[in-house]
Each structure stands twice: as C-alpha cells, then as structure tokens.
Amino acid sequence: MNEIRPVVRACVTGLLVPLIGFSGGCVAIPTKANVAQSGEVQAADGALTATVLYSRDFSPETPRSLGEEVVECVTRGLTETAPEIRIVSEEEFDRAIFGVKSGEVLLRRDTIGPLLTRPDVSQRVGQSGLTHLILVEGATHNVPGNSGSWVVPYSMGAWGESKRNTQFTATIFELMSAKEVQVKASAEGNQVFVFAFPVPIVGWADATESASCAALGAGVARALRGKVRDEGR
C-alpha cells in the first residue's frame, strides 16, 4: 500500500465530490502524529508472533477498505521495526487457535476474552506457540469550517476549509492471558480547497491518515518489544 493513498482519497473526495464537472488537484502536506499506549505488553517465553487483523465484528464503524490499510501499516511497522517478530496469517491463526477456517470465528470485543480462556482454546494456544493477536480500527473526522463563494465578470468560484482528526487504534491481545493493551496514533490537521471557473480546483490537506498509520505501525512494534509508552512524533 502506498501510505499516501488514504490522504489522496480523502482529498479528492473532499474537493471534487461537491464540484462535479470541474477538475483539479490536491497537495498532501506532511504532518505529525502522537502515539499513546495503555499499558505494557507482558514478555512472552520464546519467540514472539503476531497476527494482525481487521474484523467488522470488532470495529463495525471502521470501513473495510480503511481497516485493511491499517492492517498493512501495522504489518509493515512490525516488519521494518521488529523483524524478529514472526507475522502469522489470519488463516494460520484461525486454524491453529480455534480449529476453524478463516473468518468463521466471531471476534467481537465481548467475545475475545471468553474465547481465549476456554480450556480447549487455551490448550491450542500453548501447543501452537503463537503469542499475540492484534485487531485494528480507526477513522478520520472532518469538521467543516469557514467557506464562501464569489461571482464576478468572466469568473465564479468558491472556497472552504475543514478540520481533520484521524485516530487509529491497535488492540494487542496476549493469547496466554487474554489481557489487552491498546496503542493509539492520532493526528490533527486542516483541509482547504479553492476553485474558480474556468481555473481548476486547487487545495491541500494535512496528511493525517498516513502519519497516523505509520506511527501506529511503529508504535505496535515498540510495544511488543517493551519500549516507549507515550510519545509525540
């Protein structure tokens, strides 16, 4: 996944949808993300493994396309920052821990704990050597700000701005204990557009999605390694 893709999609949607028939572009401005962690991940005996998933049942408010992009960010962060952690596929995880095919187990917030503490599942966890399950979620919220328009001879146009807030979360479950730790990455910024007919649309947006995504991936890797609890990036 190209990390800037969520930003470009949001920018194009925000600028072009209200203005069908006009063309233009948008510039994504790099921004910073803050990372916070709710607790410490307990050290595991032996090598660490991680399965990174998006589940509609766990995070129903997160669109599937965004959830899958955040999965890629976290997976990339683990690969780049903590290459010693083995990434386990969803198929392998479901088969080894629950004895079912991929997608056949209901992973809701209120079901994961009871599932992991069932005697048969606990036995599979011990036999598998798998250590952690990571479920992701997130969203970007836009709050409209000032806007306006104008009409003059041979020209017409409009402008508008909005505040953007992105927050991505990874919930890390320790399979042996069923305890969880959350890592959150958030970024705030602005989005602005201006267009004047027949001049193309121009605009810019702070890259809150890509910043939060990259920060979350690195934050999860550090959490599993037992480093850094709360930081600004």
In tens, the pLDDT along 87-143 reads 999 999 999 999 988 878 889 999 999 999 999 999 999 999 999 999 999 999 988
**What's the confidence (pLDDT) of residue 230?**
38
Fill in the DSSP letter of residue 82: -
**What's the confidence (pLDDT) of residue 145?**
85
**What's the confidence (pLDDT) of residue 88?**
96
In tens, the pLDDT along 12-57 reads 444 443 433 444 556 778 789 999 999 999 877 778 999 999 999 9
Q: Which of 86 and 45 is assigned the larger pLDDT?
A: 86
Kindly give the pairing relationship between strand 86-87 and strand 49-53.
parallel
Summary mean pLDDT of the chain: 84
The answer to whether 93 and 135 are in contact (CB under 8 A) is no
Cβ atoms within 10 Å, residue 219: 30
Overall average pLDDT of the 152-179 stretch:
90
**What's the confidence (pLDDT) of residue 51?**
97
Listed in sequence order, the residues at least 6 apart from 233 whose beta carbon sits closer than 8 Å to its beta carbon are 32, 33, 34, 35, 211, 215
